[in-house]
Structure 1
Amino acid sequence: MQVDFYHLTRTPLERALPQIAAKVVASGARLLVVARDEDRRVAIDRLLWNYAPDSFLPHGQAGGPDDTRQPVLIAPDVVPANGARHVALIDGEWRPAALTFERAFHFFDEDHIQAARAAWKDLAGGEGVERRYWKQNDAGRWEQAA
């Protein structure tokens, strides 16, 4: 299982998440996007419809009639009703249930850095857990730092 920590410093979640989601879907996999706050989920739902004029990223909000068919499902909890094996935690909160997926993307900003550091340390000795820390360089590109 792989956990990718994305420290949002230059690029906001609204630019980083669609790129990750598009790559996951292009690979034939499914993604569960998790945020506790309903307003945040609604904003991400709108974003994924129109983040780029030349793209289409099929998705839905959890609780709908077609949850099982959604390549990307936006939910308040780590419950992959769409059968996702990838999860994106977008509200800065680490959830141990993410360890049941093949890959977890943990997005956090400066407001959540202490919690992210604690999660990083907690996962240090985890059997079968590979941690990767991504930060942005001066040009705004993601670089693996750990």
Structure 2
Amino acid sequence: MRLGFYLSGNQPVERVLPLIARAALGQGQRLLVVSGDDEQIVRLDNALWEHQPEHFLAHGLAGGPHEARQPILLADGCAAANGAELLALADGVWREEAEAFARVFLFFDESGRAAARQTWRQFDRREDVEREFYELDGGKWARKA
């Protein structure tokens, strides 16, 4: 598994997650976006439509019509009804089910830094996990570790 830690700084995740979603779609991959916060799901839904209106990011909600056909699926759990191999944990909360995905993006802001560090350490001795750390720099993700 490839596990990326994405520090959004002072930007809310709904402003920065579309950058990752666009890249995933550009590579022909499907993405599952998970948050346990219903209000955040609504904000993410809106952001995916509005990020670049001329190039909207097609997506749907888990449990909605045609969920299996959605290139980006927003959900409150890690069941990838759309067959995604990529998982974005938008609420910054690690879930053990995430280990079933080929690549995981764990988004967090300054308030979630301690929890992200704990998750990082959880994988210290795991040779089957490649960890990466990214920070938002000038509107783009920059790899720091």
TM range (shorter): over 0.9
Count of residues paired in the alignment: 145
Matches for 1:88-99 after TM superposition, within 5 Å:
88-99=88-99
- 1:144 CA drift (Å): 1.4
Q: Say which SS state the counterpart of residue 54 (structure 1) adopts.
A: helix
Match of 2:49 in 1: 49
The reply to whether residue 110 of structure 1 matches residue 110 of structure 2 is: yes
Following the alignment from structure 2 to structure 1, what is the Cα–Cα distance between the partners of residues 134 and 142?
5
The reply to whether residue 76 of structure 1 matches residue 108 of structure 2 is: no
Instruction: Decide whether aligned partners of structure 1 residues 96 and 69 sit closer, same or farther in structure 2, where only a CA change above 3 A counts.
Output: same
Following the alignment from structure 1 to structure 2, what is the Cα–Cα distance between the partners of residues 22 and 135?
17
- 1:127 CA drift (Å): 3.1
CA contact (8 A) 1:10 1:136 kept: no
Q: Say which SS state the counterpart of residue 82 (structure 1) adopts.
A: coil
CA contact (8 A) 2:2 2:131 kept: yes
Following the alignment from structure 2 to structure 1, what is the Cα–Cα distance between the partners of residues 42 and 14?
12
| Greater than 3 Å deviation, 4+ residue runs | none
The reply to whether residue 23 of structure 1 matches residue 23 of structure 2 is: yes
The normalised TM-score by structure 2 is: 0.94
Q: Say which SS state the counterpart of residue 132 (structure 1) adopts.
A: strand
CA contact (8 A) 1:11 1:140 kept: no
RMSD: 1.3
Match of 1:121 in 2: 121
In structure 1, the gaps of 5 or more residues are none
Instruction: Decide whether aligned partners of structure 1 residues 12 and 124 sit closer, same or farther in structure 2, where only a CA change above 3 A counts.
Output: same
In structure 2, the gaps of 5 or more residues are none
- Once the two structures are aligned, what percentage of the paired residues are identical? 44
CA contact (8 A) 2:3 2:103 kept: yes
